[in-house]
Structures are given as structure tokens and as C-alpha cells.
């Protein structure tokens, strides 16, 4: 038996023939080229998402400020945009209709879904985040609004420290300092209005934009802590459904109090709202998720905060609404630097956690081998 074993070992360690070596090298090059293609495709998706998000903000301000449209209804806009997420319930309903009630009931028993309380809390948080953002666009310039909203990454880290899901580190402290410094420069900096009809930065608008960023920080941490990846479609569909109910109640309250009187939108206004809802919310969020999977969380976070320079260029060059001094531009650079530091810190933390898990598994395997 021993000679056969030695022959087998010899066969295993024998060098590959030149033909097999060439084939293996070709396969390696093919996989590397495919990975590069996937990465480039992910970058293109993320770049398109950046343009869609800035375009969505431009559409919102056009809806508010254009005299031919003049539909200043942030609650109605938020309701319609968030309600589009209910389309994520359609795959489950389609499967239930195809498989029958019995099979659907068995699948539901095997798959533990999110609790109703979690869906309601996520809905309240997300609706507030979107409502304050849409309302802030009435009282801030596009570039300032984007800069303040992009500080949500910094607030996610701060909230994570507060609830214990993030760890204090030098990079994290740098992230917070850069983010807060950039926000202060954006608030204190002065812009010159070139277009008389363009929105002007007001303290109310800046507070609303910051409130939206803080709410997103709470939202992202709560979602990560309470919702599993396989539950996302159910949760997001539920968010769309409950947002419709919540928005309808708030619209009725706004009409009764006179804060936001109900008004049937014109065909143009409704078209803009639907376009904004699908492009700025549903489609762009899906493209962002695909882009993240094709690249990495670090690349996705940094790439999406290119909305800061893109919004400045759009505001000052394309729309020609405002001219900016060096102070808000410097604040934009600081916020972007804070986002990069936060993303790098998160990537290092994830790599350290994965290394610790792999080390524990290898230690358990070695312990099992010794036991045998």
C-alpha cells in the first residue's frame, strides 16, 4: 500500500505540462480581465447614481421654484417618492399567486420575517429623513444642501459610537473633526446669488438639511442592527406601504391646519414627482446596491460623495444660480475628506473582524485535529 501512496503523492506534486500551464495562465488572465470589467461597470453605475441624485435635487427645486409648476408640497412629494418602495412587495405577491396559498404559507413559516414594530420604526425614521431633506431644498442652495446632507456618513459614525456598534479610533476621530469643520465652514460661508429666483441659504434650511443627515445616521445604524439582508425586500416594501399611509395622514393634517393645503398637481408637476420618485429613489438605490457589489463599500461611499463637487459645479456653472467663496469650497473638501476617513476606518474594522473570525475557525480546526 505504501508504494501506491508514494506514487499518488508523486503524481500530485508533479509539475504541470506546458500546455496545462498555458491554459491555467490564460484562465487567470481571463478572470482578472472579468474582474476589471466588473469593477469598471460598478464605477459607471456609481457615477450614474451620483448624477441621478444631483438631478433629483434639481428636479425638486424646479418643482418648488419654477413659476409654471409652483408645487411647494414637500409632504406630498415625500409621500409619493417613499411610496414607490412598495414595488418591492410585488415579487412576494407574484410568488404567492404562482405557488398557491399553501406553499406560500410554508415558505413564510420557514423564513422569519421582520416584526411589524421594526418596519414601523424604520418607516418613521426614513420618512422623516426624506421629508426634512425635501423641505430643506426650499430654503437652501443646491450645493450647500448636498454638502450638509453628505455629512450623514459622519453622523452614522457618531451614532454608532453612542450605541456601541462602532469603535473609537484615530481615523474615526479624524472623520468627525473633518466633517464637523466642513459643516461649520458651509454654514458660515457666504454665497452670492447670481440668479434672483434661486434659493437662498437660510438657518431653517440648514437646520433641516442637518436634521436629515442625523436622521440618516440613526436610520443606517438601526437598519444594520435590526434587519437582516434577506429581509430587506420585505422591509423596504413595508416602508413603501406604511409611508403611503403615514403621508396620507400628514397631508390631511397639513390641509386641516393650513400648513400645506391639499392641491391636485398639474400634469407637469405629477410627471416631475413620479420621475423624481423612481429615478431619485427606487432605481438609483438599486443601482447603488449593484455598484457596491461590483466594487467595494469603500469605493461606493467615496464615489457617492462626489455629489458634493458635482452639485457645486451644477449650481455655479450649469444652473448659474450662485457664486461661492473659498470658505464653502473648503468646507466641501473637509466633508469629503471626513467621508474618506470614515470609509477607510470602516473597511479596516471589517477586515480585522474577518481576520479574527478566520483565526478562531482555524484554531478550532487545529484543536479538532489534535483531538482526533
Rounded to 5 degrees, φ, ψ at 58 are -65, -45
Q: Chain-centre distance of CA 139, in angstroms?
A: 24
Q: Which triple of cell numbers denotes residue 253?
A: 393634517
Q: What is the pLDDT of residue 320?
A: 83
- Dihedral in degrees, nearest 10, Cα atoms 345, 351, 357, 359: -120
Domain ranges of the chain: 85-265+305-334
d(CA 259, CA 254): 5
What are the 10-residue block averages of pLDDT along the chain, 372 residues in total?
A: 48 59 73 80 87 91 88 93 84 66 52 78 92 92 85 82 82 85 80 79 91 88 79 83 94 94 91 87 77 72 78 85 81 83 77 70 60 56
For 101, other C-beta atoms within 10 Å of its C-beta total 9
d(CA 157, CA 161): 6
- Are the CB atoms for 342 and 154 separated by under 8 Å? yes
Which residue shows C-alpha cell 444642501? 145
Nearest-CA neighbor of 305 among 330, 339, 281, 328? 339
Residue count of the chain: 372
pTM above 0.85, yes or no: no
Nearest-CA neighbor of 48 among 312, 209, 286? 286
Q: What is the pLDDT of residue 17?
A: 66
Q: What is the pLDDT of residue 359?
A: 66
Give the DSSP letter of residue 320: -
CA atoms within 13 A on the CB side of 361: 6
Amino acid at each position: 500500500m505504501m508504494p501506491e501512496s508514494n506514487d499518488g503523492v508523486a503524481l500530485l506534486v508533479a509539475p504541470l505540462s506546458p500546455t496545462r500551464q498555458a491554459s491555467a495562465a490564460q484562465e487567470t488572465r481571463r478572470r482578472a480581465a472579468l474582474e476589471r470589467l466588473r469593477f469598471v461597470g460598478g464605477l459607471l453605475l456609481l457615477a450614474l447614481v451620483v448624477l441621478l441624485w444631483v438631478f433629483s435635487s434639481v428636479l425638486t427645486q424646479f418643482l418648488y421654484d419654477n413659476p409654471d409648476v409652483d408645487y411647494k408640497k414637500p409632504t406630498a412629494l415625500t409621500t409619493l417618492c417613499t411610496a414607490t418602495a412598495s414595488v418591492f412587495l410585488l415579487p412576494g405577491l407574484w410568488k404567492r399567486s404562482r405557488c398557491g396559498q399553501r406553499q406560500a404559507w410554508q415558505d413564510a413559516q420557514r423564513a422569519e420575517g421582520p416584526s411589524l414594530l421594526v418596519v414601523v420604526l424604520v418607516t418613521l425614521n426614513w420618512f422623516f429623513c426624506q421629508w426634512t431633506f425635501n423641505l430643506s431644498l426650499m430654503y437652501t442652495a443646491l450645493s450647500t444642501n448636498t454638502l450638509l446632507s453628505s455629512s450623514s456618513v459622519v453622523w452614522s459614525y457618531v451614532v454608532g459610537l453612542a450605541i456601541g456598534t462602532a469603535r473609537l479610533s484615530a481615523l474615526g476621530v479624524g472623520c468627525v473633526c473633518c466633517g464637523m469643520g466642513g459643516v461649520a465652514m458651509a454654514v458660515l460661508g457666504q454665497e452670492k446669488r447670481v440668479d434672483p429666483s434661486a434659493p437662498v441659504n437660510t438657518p431653517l434650511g440648514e437646520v433641516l438639511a442637518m436634521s436629515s443627515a442625523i436622521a440618516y445616521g440613526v436610520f443606517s445604524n438601526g437598519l444594520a442592527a435590526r434587519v437582516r439582508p434577506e429581509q430587506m425586500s420585505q422591509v423596504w416594501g413595508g416602508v413603501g406601504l406604511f409611508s403611503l399611509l403615514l403621508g396620507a395622514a400628514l397631508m390631511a393634517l397639513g390641509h386641516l391646519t393650513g400648513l400645506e393645503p391639499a392641491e391636485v398637481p398639474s400634469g407637469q408637476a405629477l410627471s416631475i414627482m413620479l420621475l423624481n420618485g423612481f429615478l431619485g429613489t427606487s432605481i438609483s438605490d438599486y443601482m447603488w446596491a449593484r455598484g457596491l457589489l461590483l466594487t467595494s463599500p469603500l469605493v461606493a461611499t467615496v464615489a457617492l460623495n462626489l455629489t458634493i463637487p458635482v452639485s457645486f459645479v451644477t449650481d455655479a456653472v450649469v444652473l448659474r444660480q450662485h457664486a461661492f467663496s473659498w470658505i464653502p469650497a473648503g468646507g466641501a473638501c473637509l466633508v469629503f475628506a471626513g467621508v474618506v476617513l470614515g470609509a477607510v476606518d470602516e473597511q479596516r474594522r471589517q477586515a480585522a473582524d474577518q481576520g479574527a473570525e478566520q483565526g478562531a475557525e482555524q484554531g478550532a480546526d487545529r484543536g479538532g485535529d489534535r483531538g482526533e
